[in-house]
Amino acid sequence: MAHGVLRKLGARGAIASAIALAFAAPLAAQFKSEGYEFLEAVKESEGDKATEMLSKPGTQIVNTRDITSGDTGLHIAVARSDLLWVRFLLQRGADPNIRNKKGTTPLQMATALGFTDGVAALIKGGASIDIADQTGETPLITAVHARNVGLVRLLLEKGADPDRNDNSGRSARNYMELQAGNDILRQAFADADEKRAAAGTKKDYGPSF
């Protein structure tokens, strides 16, 4: 009799296991949130799907962060130097100043990659140009270290502070001056200084309110 009871219990356990397996797939699908699906659409460059999701009234998924990396769709687009997607996401309200789990913003990532067009788009979209990482390094300092003259000129033109210090007490200007034989980079700073000086002495005529 005891063996019969055990057989019945075993049968019930098998049925329970079968039921659990039957529901496992649907439940896993449910856990793929709308934010997850959106990030996947960005990763796969599925423009129609992303547009449809972002067009839903009141949606906030544009700034969804990956659970593991903390990357947003904007980080993902910058990482592959995809200017079209960077502009698209910014137009849809992506925050250019969100940090991922490494503390990196899209602008810092774009600067490190030498993605000049992306840097310009992010600044236009509201990125903080002098935002610093954990060491105090600004995008301008990063560009100077890379000797990326075009990017240095762009950042200076957009108002980056050449004299803001990092945690070691050195500024982008200091790092530029430490680089021997880099006359082109030195000229970029000189040009920016001249423009700032001219702007500072510019006089306005007529009444002011």
> What are the residue boundaries of the structural domains of the chain, listed by start?
33-128, 129-199
* Phi, psi angles (nearest 5°) of residue 165: -85, 150
pLDDT beneath 50, residues of the chain: 2, 5-6, 9, 14-31, 202-209
Task: Give the model's pLDDT for residue 12.
Answer: 54
H-helix or E-strand spanning residue 21: helix 2-30
pTM metric for this prediction:
0.79
Q: pLDDT tens digits for 43-60?
A: 999 999 999 999 998 888
Residue 82 has a CB neighbour count (10 Å cut-off) of: 17
Task: Give the model's pLDDT for residue 7.
Answer: 52
Q: pLDDT tens digits for 161-176?
A: 999 999 999 999 999 9
The Cα 169–Cα 123 span in angstroms is 25
The Cα 41–Cα 91 span in angstroms is 17
Q: What class is the 129-199 domain?
A: mainly alpha
Q: Give the domain 33-128 fold.
A: 1.25.40
CB 160 within 8 A of CB 131: no
- Within 13 Å and on the Cβ side, how many CA atoms surround 156? 25
Task: Give the model's pLDDT for residue 26.
Answer: 41
Same fold? 33-128, 129-199: yes
Residues 6+ apart with CB under 8 A from 64: 35, 36, 38, 39, 72, 73
Return the SS3 of 165. Answer: strand
CB 137 within 8 A of CB 166: yes
